[in-house]
Amino acid sequence: MGITIYYIICTAISCLLLYSILSFIRQHNVLHILFFVFICIANFGYTFLAVSKSLDEALLANKISYIGAFLPFVMILSNAQFCRMKLPAWTVAVLCALNLVQLFFVNTIGVNDLYYREVKLGSYRGVSYLIKTYGPGHTYYIILLIFETLTALAVIFYALKKKKNTTYNTIIFLGVGVLFSVLVLIIERRISLEIDLVPLSYIINAFIYLHISYRTQVYGISAGIMNMYEEKTNYVCISLDENFRLMDYNKNAAVLFPEIPDIHIDTDDYPKEKDLYRLLVLWAKDIASKGLKEDEKTIPLGELIFRATVRERLSKKGSSTGYVIEMIDDTAFQKNLKIMERTMDDLDRARESAIRASHAKSDFMANMSHEIRTPINAITGMNEMIIREAKEKQILEYAGYISEAGSQLLSIVNDILDFEKIEAGKLDLSEGEYSLGRIIRSVYQMMHPKAEGKGVDFSIHADPHLPDGLFGDENRIRQILINIISNGIKYTPKGLVTMVVGGSMAGPDRVELRFEIRDTGIGIKEEDMERIFDSFERVDSRRNRSVEGTGLGLAISRELVTKMNGRIDASSVYGKGSTFTVLIPQTVTDKKEIGSWQRSEIVKEDGKERITINSPDMRILAVDDMPLNLIVIEKFLSMSRLKLDKATSAKQALKLIAANRYDVVLMDHFMPEMDGVEALQKIRAMGGRYETLPVIAVTANAITGSREEYISMGFQDYISKPVDYNTLVDILLRYCP
């Protein structure tokens, strides 16, 4: 029974090896697969023979087992492939013919006595076997087996001596397989054993072939890499396995390293006197010891300079299969690199010289700023004194000319200094909370007199629903608008200049402001449009030679808008006018609307500018139980053109509200008898227009969250005491009729 189990185990192992080569070897070779298939069939024949019950079954099993007789032929062809040898066609033809004769002898067993003269079925320990008397056909088989074995050994010895591109371990393994088969044949002929060693011999050879097939697959990857670089004239490629033994190399490597052709594949036995190849191997070992996947360095060889890279080669599962060393002739690049380095050194020196010159220019501009501004300030200051104190009309007229010229000169100096800051990269924004309505009012007050003096109509149209409280650089936004509007007035001999202010919400707390400045002036030629934002540019200079300015206004405006993450565009029709569009994103800090800005004016009081309300039809009621507080409000609004009524109690206020039509009610909160909140409720209860009458809470309750609390009660807005003048005017301007 044990002998039968031996045959069954051999057959099972043969099948597992066939499954392994089909599953784990990606590129299957037909010869190698046939080798494994024949082993499975032959071992099955031995097992079938061991369990045969009749002579006919035993003879059939014997014929099946003799499939193994063709394995030496397949082995010769496979060994030649493994050793990268091409056998002559006549050799293959002769071997094929000899095996066909053998096939005839095997298939006629039991029909004639050529192979066996006599055959009987025997049994030993329950295992069937054939008792044979050999004929001439079997003698032929032995001679053919010896001949094919010697041929297989000849292929291996030839590869060992002549084929340097065959891996050393492959040759050794193939040799072991052939010698083991010879050893089994000798043992069987010299020693009588209870079991047949041939199935075991088949399995040993199958294991060897599986191992060689796997190594061939790995080396095939290396060969693929070599093929990629074979046709590249300036590429050198050397492939090492995971043990840093030579796997493959391309032709360029053999030229650059004459010692490589003398190194046998799959060994680390190389001429030690050849330092360069040894250093490459040590380099690969070094990156492996450091856990690196790749490294690069420059290697000079005579007059040539190579850029060398060593990188680890990984399998699909991430395990290391070796290392690839690539060398690229980098001589031209390295020479150009040295030239570039010298050029960069020259550029660095030139840059340092330019920086020194720039610092000198900056110092000069700072000194010039001080030296020019000082006398300008003195001139404009003294001229202001003349305007205030002079009584004669002609002197005031002369002083007006001086004031205008001084403003122009100061504007030119400011433009030059701003441009110098832009060039030096020092133009910074000074951001903070500001009122959009205040910017619009101040721009109008500054530009309207200038346009009026030239006979040009200037107007501003602003969306009253835009948020008033924003965060940004108020002064720079005003500067941008003034620069563009000034240009529009300059280049508009007659007609009008209009600024349209709009915007759109870009998020819960972001708004994109849109300023569109249109004029009906001389316009810009199409070919000049690309140059209008360039520094010191004055397009159509012959026509505009009488126009004053530095030509920096638009250049500075563009830089400022860009610094605010905005955009400025221009369009024009020559002879009909131009349109400049400025888009600036800003953060919203207060969503209160700007309202009707046109109802404001800027007047001077004690040398200071104040915003006032110019709305003669506007009627306001101020309610407070403290007469002094009413006097303060009356004083604040004394310069504004509007109607103001006062009430010292909520009851008096209700009577006045019922009898008159008010635009705004300023309501104190804490009052005796009836407070402001109760008064507000009675006003709303009156219905009709009183339901939407703007009532502003004026109270000393100024803790955090007070404004939100009063608005939730029904008030339109909130002013904390002590009342701030600018806050009062800004809020009232929102409700101008």
Distances (CA, A) of 595 to 447, 507, 509, 661, 736: 21, 21, 19, 20, 8
CA 446 – CA 121 distance, rounded (Å): 127
Pairing of strands 495-507, 456-462: parallel
User: 3-class SS at 645?
Assistant: strand
Residue span(s) of the chain under CATH 1.10.287 come to 352-422
CA 718 – CA 716 distance, rounded (Å): 7
Is 0.75 topped by the overall pTM?
no
pLDDT of residue 655: 93
Structure tokens at 265: 């594949």
Q: What is the per-residue burial (b if ≥16 Cβ within 10 Å, else e) of 35-68?
A: bbebbbbbbbbbbbbbebeeeeebbbbbbbbbbb
In contact, 49 and 62? CB cutoff 8 Å: yes
pLDDT of residue 491: 87
Q: How confident is the model at residue 36 (pLDDT cuts 50, 70, 90)?
A: confident
In contact, 246 and 165? CB cutoff 8 Å: no
Greatest mean pLDDT range, 378-382, 401-405, 543-547, 671-675: 671-675
Pairing of strands 235-240, 320-329: antiparallel
Where is pLDDT greater, at 601 or 219? 601
Residue span(s) of the chain under CATH 1.20.1070 come to 2-217
From the options 2.60.40, 1.10.287, 3.30.300, 1.10.10, give the CATH code of 352-422: 1.10.287
Q: What is the per-residue burial (b if ≥16 Cβ within 10 Å, else e) of 105-127?
A: bbeebbeeeebbeebebeeeeeb
CA 250 – CA 235 distance, rounded (Å): 9
Radius of gyration of the chain from its Cα atoms, rounded to whole angstroms: 52
CATH placement of domain 610-733: 3.40.50.2300
CA 352 – CA 704 distance, rounded (Å): 55
The CA-based angle 29-228-215, given to 5 degrees, is 35
Distances (CA, A) of 71 to 38, 41, 153, 287, 378: 7, 11, 14, 45, 115
Place of tokens 């955090």: 704
In contact, 549 and 490? CB cutoff 8 Å: yes
- What is residue 251's DSSP assignment? H
In contact, 476 and 443? CB cutoff 8 Å: no
* Least confident piece of the model among 275-279, 307-311, 318-322, 689-693: 275-279
pLDDT of residue 660: 93
Sign of the Cα pseudo-torsion (218, 219, 222, 226, in order):
negative
* Least confident piece of the model among 377-391, 404-418, 441-455, 494-508: 404-418
Sign of the Cα pseudo-torsion (707, 711, 717, 718, in order):
negative
Residue 382 has pLDDT above 50, yes or no: yes
Q: What is the DSSP string of 430-497?
A: --EEEEHHHHHHHHHHHHHHHHHHHTEEEEEEE-TTSEEEEEE-HHHHHHHHHHHHHHHHHT-SSEEE
Q: Which CATH superfamily is domain 430-595 in?
A: Histidine kinase-like ATPase, C-terminal domain (3.30.565.10)
- The model's pLDDT over 681-710, given as tens digits with 9 standing for 90+, comes to 999 999 988 998 999 998 877 666 777 888
Ranges assigned E (strand) in 660-705: 664-668, 695-699
Distances (CA, A) of 282 to 166, 245, 328, 640: 23, 11, 19, 92
Structure tokens at 572: 């024009």
Maximum pairwise Cα distance, the chain: 156
Residue span(s) of the chain under CATH 3.30.450.20 come to 231-329
In contact, 736 and 662? CB cutoff 8 Å: no
Beta bridge partners of 306: 299, 329
* Least confident piece of the model among 342-356, 427-441, 457-471: 342-356
CA 518 – CA 479 distance, rounded (Å): 17
- The model's pLDDT over 652-665, given as tens digits with 9 standing for 90+, comes to 999 999 999 999 99
- The model's pLDDT over 74-83, given as tens digits with 9 standing for 90+, comes to 777 777 777 7
CATH placement of domain 2-217: 1.20.1070
Q: How confident is the model at residue 412 (pLDDT cuts 50, 70, 90)?
A: low
CA 219 – CA 645 distance, rounded (Å): 102
- What is residue 586's DSSP assignment? E
Whether the upstream peptide bond of residue 271 has omega within 30° of 0, thus cis, is no
- The model's pLDDT over 89-142, given as tens digits with 9 standing for 90+, comes to 888 888 888 888 887 887 888 778 888 888 888 777 777 877 888 888 888 888
Residue span(s) of the chain under CATH 3.40.50.2300 come to 610-733
User: Does the 231-329 domain belong in CATH 3.40.30.10?
Assistant: no
Mean pLDDT of the chain: 78
